[in-house]
Amino acid sequence: MTYSHRRFKTRYVALRRRNRARLKARPYLLPVAGLLFGVAIVFAAVLFGGRPVSDFNSHVVDISVDDSQRVLPTRASTVAGLLVNLHIKLAPEDVVEPAADTPILEDNFRVNIYRAKPVTVLNDGKKIVVLTAKKSARLVAEEAGVTVYPEDRVSFARGTLAEGVLGEKLVIDPATPVALNLYGTLVTVRTHAKTVGELLDQKQVKLAASDQVQPAPATPLTPGLPVFVVRSGTQIQSAEEPVEPPTQTVNDASLSFGTTVVRQAGMPGKKLVTYQLELRNGQIVKRQIIQQIVIQEPVPRIVAVGKTVNIPADKTVWMAAAGIKSSDYAYVNYIISRESGWCPTKWQGEYGSCPPYHGVPSSGGYGLGQATPGSKMTAFGADWATNPVTQLKWASSYANTCVSYRMYCGWQGAYNHWLSYHNW
């Protein structure tokens, strides 16, 4: 052993002896240090739900792709960033729900990737195969280059070997075009009615006693058949007006609560409004509506709305401690995730990770619900600047306010307001 090694060993042994002597002289040092360390851990757990400060810009996502489901953490800020990080490649025909530019703002966020598959479109005796992941039958028909009218019936079905179709098929049942002449105004309408009488009933044509219908109501409809509704001795005027498309909402368990996906944009329809005119000295003095018929049905706008609620346990503990009803948890999680990312020390305008407590801004939003100013939470507890439960008590009071300038009247009302205005 060299001289330097012997010297180091001698010093190390002497240091250990001195440390043991200090512990014997002050036996309380070790338990006190352990207690302080434990208090620090508990404080962090209470304040941040056991989650490291640096992980507040990380979220857990539930992604479904290629017939498999994965749950994993990510620091990606958008769905597009997530796909890049996971090296998931998309074909132009693939569909991602929600859209690639959707921000990831909460845990247990669901992402679904639908791979394009061949679909055989059957139209007028022809077969057209398209590669698609669309869920709207009308959109698939458009991709195949087939003109589909709003009155046509379009549906998916399973193909059979007998018809030479493997996999999914798209069946188009076209409506019959009819040339309807209503009081001198000629319009083309499409229908699945079988007779002239059924057509008039379907279009809600109200016949007066003096009205004449040609051909007879029992006449079978054929493509292009002219149908006349005539009223003699009366001045008539007609005008086309738009019909707004209805919105169909579909609850989808594959999407997170609050996520919306437009699966069909919708298209306005047309209606023919017929007026009976009253003239005096050649001037119109009165117009009375005698008919309103839809000559082209509107195509509905289809919106898928996520309904799956999966909130991390630490957040539900905070909400329960703040006295929030469990039926409101989904609304609270949606709003707080977007206001602060569940960070009780976040100033308005701060992005990314949750910073440690660094004071309170004199103006601007602060805390979980971005109270403006933060000091308005004082009434709910002296620890309002750092305690998430205290901050949620204020937020709940704010959400349940029912006054003329803020008619939330509950967390659901606050959630509906946030959907429309992206603030509260």
Q: What is the DSSP string of 193-204?
A: -SBHHHHHHHTT
- CA separation for the pair 77, 66 (Å, rounded): 23
The CA radius of gyration of the chain, in Å to the nearest whole number, is 34
User: Which two structure tokens, joined as six digits, stand for 27?
Assistant: 């036996």
Contacts 24+ apart (CB under 8 A), 227-234: 227/178, 227/179, 227/180, 227/181, 227/196, 227/199, 227/200, 228/181, 229/180, 229/181, 229/182, 229/183, 229/200, 229/205, 230/183, 231/183, 234/276
Q: What is the pLDDT of residue 156?
A: 96
Report the CATH superfamily, name and number, of domain 54-114.
Beta-grasp domain (3.10.20.30)
Q: Residues in the chain, how many?
A: 424
**Degrees to nearest 5, angle at CA 403 with 399 and 406:** 55
pLDDT value of position 120 = 97
d(CA 400, CA 389): 16
Spell out the residues 6+ positions from residue 145 whose beta carbon is closer than 8 angstroms to its own.
128
Sketch the domain layout of the chain as residue ranges. 3-48, 54-114, 117-173, 176-305, 311-421
Ordered per-residue pLDDT tens for the chain, 424 residues: 555 555 555 665 565 666 666 555 655 555 555 555 554 544 444 444 444 434 556 899 999 999 899 999 999 999 999 999 999 999 999 999 999 999 999 999 999 999 999 999 998 889 999 999 999 999 999 999 999 999 999 999 999 988 889 899 999 999 999 999 999 999 999 999 999 999 999 999 999 998 999 999 999 999 999 999 998 888 899 999 999 999 999 999 999 999 999 999 999 999 999 999 988 877 888 999 999 999 999 999 999 999 999 999 999 999 999 999 999 999 999 999 999 999 999 999 998 889 999 999 988 999 999 999 999 999 999 999 999 999 999 999 999 998 888 889 999 999 999 999 999 9
Instruction: Specify whether the CB–CB gap between 391 and 377 falls below 8 A.
Output: yes
| DSSP strand pairing (226-230 vs 176-182) | parallel
pLDDT at 232: 83
Q: Which residues pair with 262 in a beta bridge?
A: 303
User: How far is residue 380's CA from residue 391's CA, in Å, rounded to a whole number?
Assistant: 8
What SS3 state is found at 35?
helix
pLDDT of residue 47: 43
The residue to which tokens 């001195």 are assigned: 18
Contacts of 66 by beta carbon, 8 Å cutoff, 6+ apart: 113, 115
pLDDT at 30: 53
Cα separation of 419 and 335, whole Å? Answer: 9
Q: Nearest CA to 367 among 397, 335, 333, 391?
A: 391
* Domain 176-305 top-level CATH class: mainly beta
What digits encode the pLDDT tens for the residues 5-25?
A: 555 556 655 656 666 665 556
Tokens matching residue 184: 């001198």
CA nearest neighbour of 214 among 195, 227, 225, 223: 227
Residue 163's CB is within 10 A of a number of other CB atoms, namely 11
The single residue listed with the structure tokens 């054929």 is 222
Q: How far apart (Å, rounded) are the C-alpha atoms in residues 381 and 378?
A: 6
Q: What is the pLDDT of residues 375-408, one digit of tens each?
A: 999 999 999 999 999 999 999 999 999 888 888 9
